[in-house]
C-alpha cells in the first residue's frame, strides 16, 4: 500500500510494508523540485534515517530497475 500527498513545494509518497512478517517501517519519499529524500525509522538506532538523491540519481534508479546486471550511463536523446 502507498499514499500520495501534494503540498505547496513537494509531493510526499509513503510506502507501507504489508508483506509477510517481519514488517519493515514505512518509507517516506519527499520529492522536491531539485532533489528527492527517502526517510525511514531505524528501530535499532532509535532515529530517522534519511537519504538524499539528485534528480539524475532518481532517473538512474528508475532505469536500473528494468535492466540486467552491468554498468550503464544514461544519455539524452541525440547525444553521441
> pLDDT of the chain along its 80 residues, tens only?
889 999 999 999 999 998 888 899 999 999 999 999 999 999 999 999 999 999 999 999 988 888 888 888 878 777 66
For every residue of 7-28, DSSP letters joined together read: -SS-EEEEE---SSSSPPPPEE
What grid cell was written down for 38? 527517502
pLDDT at 80: 62
pTM (global) more than 0.85: no
What are the strands, taking DSSP E only, across the chain? Answer: 2-6, 11-15, 27-31, 35-42, 47-54
pLDDT at 65: 84
pLDDT at 13: 94
pLDDT at 78: 75
Amino acid at each position: 500500500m502507498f499514499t500520495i500527498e501534494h503540498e505547496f513545494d513537494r509531493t510526499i509518497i509513503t510506502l507501507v510494508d504489508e508483506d509477510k512478517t517481519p514488517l519493515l517501517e514505512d518509507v517516506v519519499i519527499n520529492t522536491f523540485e531539485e532533489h528527492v529524500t527517502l526517510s525511514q525509522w531505524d528501530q535499532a538506532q532509535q532515529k530517522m534515517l534519511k537519504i538524499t538523491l539528485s534528480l539524475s540519481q532518481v532517473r538512474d534508479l528508475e532505469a536500473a530497475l528494468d535492466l540486467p546486471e552491468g554498468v550503464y550511463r544514461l544519455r539524452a536523446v541525440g547525444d553521441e
